[in-house]
Chain A
């Protein structure tokens, strides 16, 4: 017999009541956990999206109804009414007021070509710009390595005029290795490096020097796309985009990051809303614990009087109630965590469109336990105090 067994007996004796409080806590904790997981997965998805844009401004030739899809299958070579964008046009960008905010300007030419007899997408780039802007491009293999040289960087930064860097899928589809000879539109090239797979459309691309591609296509000086990475705290990206647009009449300038930012704002709002909703759910749970505990104190007045007469201190009485609340809190926290995960993986994906990874998160589990127990204890503090404060003589009088 100790305070724990007394508390346990009371829980067991009033199973329905304990179940009621536990359910309240489960709902509260599950709400908080499910919303937290959902917001977290939304943020993760957003993070991926933002990472995907190494650039935050994209310039394409201005053209109505023109369908250029970078990395996608449809890149129109037809330039019916297309205003051409020349490399030299980019000089004008240096004149914009916020030029200092611009980090890298990476012009490129994207074209559908014939590689070893198969259709493929070739991207002409300036390697030291493109690969610095997109540091997640890494080589899996490269040719012409000397002893002691690491795989990383060499071929990418130093792409020879006849050199090609192949995306993982592109290399696999054409069974290419580093050092393989290939023909593109009838002209010979050497596969200088093969990229690690990224799991995105870029895996299917071939990269070559911009100048080489321009020559190959017979369109010297022409570019089909410019990606710009800019970091500007003071000015919004769209402001930069507007400035560029003003000096590039032939270009259609889009601030890419904006989409992500708007989404981030949405997530922030949803997150704030989630916190509010969780707080409401937990407050309701707390009120449930409170009223149930108050009723229990009232009902157990006699018992408390007896305990006090038998020499239990006030602190002992408080401890009995806190142990009960704590145990129920732990139970509610644990079950609430599981329920929250379940709800997040079922409803979260459906609601937000982003997949919630159903991973075991010990940290969140302990936080759920802590939160639930804290709510239960705080809500029981007053009832427990009330119980301890009962005048034992009074408590025993009306029996």
Chain B
């Protein structure tokens, strides 16, 4: 097992709408190590979400190659890509994206639905995941009975329930107040410390500070890529006095 989990080589992405072609990713060559946590920042439209969806096996690049765990993602035959997402990727979306008619527990069970676990095994895993985000007590509540932060926790539990090596988060705290956002970021930090690889898009430098690495994008290109030697403490301190300033 190599130390590199994600290996992007010359990834390009064009969107064609009518006669116009939008170049969302111009040329991305990037490696992310196993267990690394990275924040992706950049102006709106710089291609962050596109990058994330390509890494997540949701969006076929127009050019280039992406290997995850030495697996050539987009060379996988049809339905195998779906299986790959289930086994390798945990998604956390901005608006939590819980299924509104399913309870917290059922939402967490979703990624296990198509996996080959026994029923008790599924429940055990789901309850464990809820435990990790401290949501066991609300397991039978529907999303609209939960606060934004709580929904976010359930979404994180859903992302990690299959124990994927990689969690992709697109502005996960975008709609949370700064205090709740801080709690969520600490949760992500804990996940990162437990060995999970995290790639997170954020507009908030304070959130980015929780990550070990900061990737900055502009016009579909990576313009800056820096590792932070001491991100954890500063992040926590910064948050303590935060009175706003999230987005």
Contacts and interface: CB of A to CB of B under 8 A. Distances in A.
B58 A316 contact: no
A5 B122 CA distance: 15
Interface stretch (A184-192, A307-315, A350-358): A307-315
B interface, by DSSP: helix, strand, loop or mixed? helix
A312 B162 CA distance: 13
A311 B109 CA distance: 12
Interface in A297-341: 302-303, 306-316
A2 B58 contact: no
A311 B101 contact: no
23 contacts: A3-B113, A5-B106, A302-B97, A303-B99, A306-B93, A306-B99, A308-B58, A308-B85, A309-B56, A309-B58, A309-B91, A310-B91, A310-B111, A311-B83, A311-B111, A313-B79, A313-B82, A314-B82, A392-B59, A393-B59, A396-B58, A399-B94, A399-B97
A169 to B, nearest CB: 70
Contacts of B101: 9-10, 13
B87 interface: yes
B93 A316 contact: no
Given A9-B102, A306-B99, A396-B58, A312 B93 contact: no
Contact of B109 (A1, A313, A391): A1
Nearest to A311: B86
Contacts of A311: 82-87, 89, 111, 114-115, 162
B53 interface: yes
Contacts of B41: none
Contact of B82 (A1, A306, A308): A308
A391 B99 CA distance: 18
Interface string A1-28: 1110110011001000000000000000
Contacts of A314: 78-79, 82
A173 B83 CA distance: 85
A243 B112 CA distance: 83
B158 interface: yes
B218 interface: no
A322 B221 CA distance: 43
Nearest to A309: B91
Interface in B92-122: 93-95, 97, 99, 101-102, 106, 109-115, 122
Nearest to B49: A397
Among A6, A312, A397, the one with the most B-chain Cβ atoms within 10 Å of its Cβ is A312
A interface, by DSSP: helix, strand, loop or mixed? helix
A308 B57 CA distance: 10
Contacts of A309: 56, 58, 85, 89, 91
Contacts of A9: 101-102
Nearest to A3: B113
A1 B162 CA distance: 15
Nearest to A396: B93
A5 B56 CA distance: 27
Closest 3 CB pairs of A and B: A311-B86, A393-B59, A1-B109
A312 B111 CA distance: 8
A2 B97 contact: no
Contacts of B112: 1
Given A302-B97, A309-B56, A393-B58, A6 B82 contact: no
A231 B83 CA distance: 71
Contact of A306 (B49, B97, B106, B122): B97
B58 A1 contact: no
A315 B114 CA distance: 11
